[in-house]
Each structure stands twice: as C-alpha cells, then as structure tokens.
Chains A and B, each alone.
Chain A
C-alpha cells in the first residue's frame, strides 16, 4: 500500500479501469459470473436446504457484480460504491470463512466464501485485499 498514486490525465476521472485495474476487473467479472450462477442454482433448486448459506451466496454475487461494474466504470462516484462493495466483500469472506471453519453445521452447503474461498483457490480472500490496494493506488490527488 506504499505505492505512489497514479496521476490521472484528467483529474476528475480516476482510472480504476486502466492498466493493472483491467486484470482486476476481469477477475471480479469472473467471480460475478460464478457467484451469480451458483446463487441462482442454489436459490431456485434447493433454497430450503440451507437458507442462510444461500442468501449469503446471493449477497456475494451482488457484491461481485457491484464491484465489477464500479471498478470498470472508474469514475469518482463509482469509486465510492466500489469501496463499499469491496469492504462488504472482505467482511463477508472473513465472516463466512471463519464461521464455516468454526461451525460447519451452519454451512452444510458450500458458498463462494466457505473456508475463505478454498473452492476457488482462496482467490475470494485475496481479491478484496487487492481491490482495496488498487483503490488506494488510484486514489484522488488533491492539489
């Protein structure tokens, strides 16, 4: 988190969607797709089996969709939404991850965030940290 902020060409538009940010958006997009598909299947076909886990799956999907769109837009307003989404994402993966380890009974079925995203190579745990670091790197510079 010590990198110097990237100077935007236009000081009102900050490029969360440029350079390495494009790779971040690509990864977020894939998780938006994966989490949405997963939550849809769970909610539509077997909601009553594990309502809490599946509602958290839906929340995860929403968070990834919002983060993908706001990071891809890269405007000043979308940065704020991205920050909120990514902080919820970080809290979610830590909360669900911990709960699924401590109390597996609460999560009889896997979600994207179960055991800190072990089913997805722990990317769900690393992604919000990278997201926050990227927002910091591209933060507005006030002259």
Chain B
C-alpha cells in the first residue's frame, strides 16, 4: 500500500460522498459525470489493492495479515455492486447508494492505513 495513493482514494471518496448527497438533495439521479467519477474512484482503489497485494507477495507482513487481506479484497467490490444497485432504479436515492459505498471505501481506507504497520 502506498500512503499517498490512500490519500488520493480518501479525497476522491469524500467528493463522491458529497456529490451523492447533493444529487439526493436536489432530487436528481446521478449523471454521467458522477458515474464516471465513481468508476475513477474504483480504478484507483483497485490499483491500491493490487500494489498492496504485490507488497504482501514480496514479503511485507502487516500486524494483522488476515484482516488486512480481507479489507484489500472487500474494498474493491463495494463500488461495482453499488453502481449496479444505483442504476437498477434511478432516482434521488441512487446518489445516496453511491455515497454510502464511497463512505465505506473512505472508512476502509482509513482503517487500512492503520492496519498497514509492519509486524514487529
């Protein structure tokens, strides 16, 4: 895991959360730009998980290995599922669904930053 990349994920996720809240408040389904932005967040998240997996494969050992692996896998499936769920019924709540997923990505990234500590 690269800390700087984690900060990028956090920043993108914050924007995605706010964007989802805004479209819900103004009663609009997510637009194309918003959906592409969510896809961008997903791509950066996937890149981060791949980098972390490579570091684990080459010998890095965090304190809680099993939990860390669980987070690295779990974090990449949230946005795709939310994307499908948000588009299956498009209205103001679609944006909230995306916001919820982005908030989870945000929380999991913060947790990963803590988990990513070398085992003593």
Contacts and interface: CB of A to CB of B under 8 A. Distances in A.
Given A41-B66, A41-B67, A30 B104 contact: yes
Contacts of A20: 93
Nearest to A29: B81
| Interface residues of A, dominant DSSP | helix
B96 A23 contact: yes
Q: What is the interface residue range for chain A against chain B?
A: 10 to 19
Contact of B74 (A23, A27, A34): A34
B85 A22 contact: yes
Interface string A88-99: 000000000000
B34 interface: no
| Interface residues of B, dominant DSSP | helix
A130 to B, nearest CB: 13
A26 B100 contact: yes
A30 B101 CA distance: 8
Interface string B71-111: 10010011001100110010101101100110010000000
A102 interface: no
A25 B86 CA distance: 11
B89 A22 contact: yes
Contacts of B104: 30
A18 interface: yes
Interface of B: 66-67, 70-71, 74, 77-78, 81-82, 85-86, 89, 91, 93-94, 96-97, 100-101, 104
The 3 closest A-B pairs by CB, nearest first: A37-B70, A26-B97, A23-B96
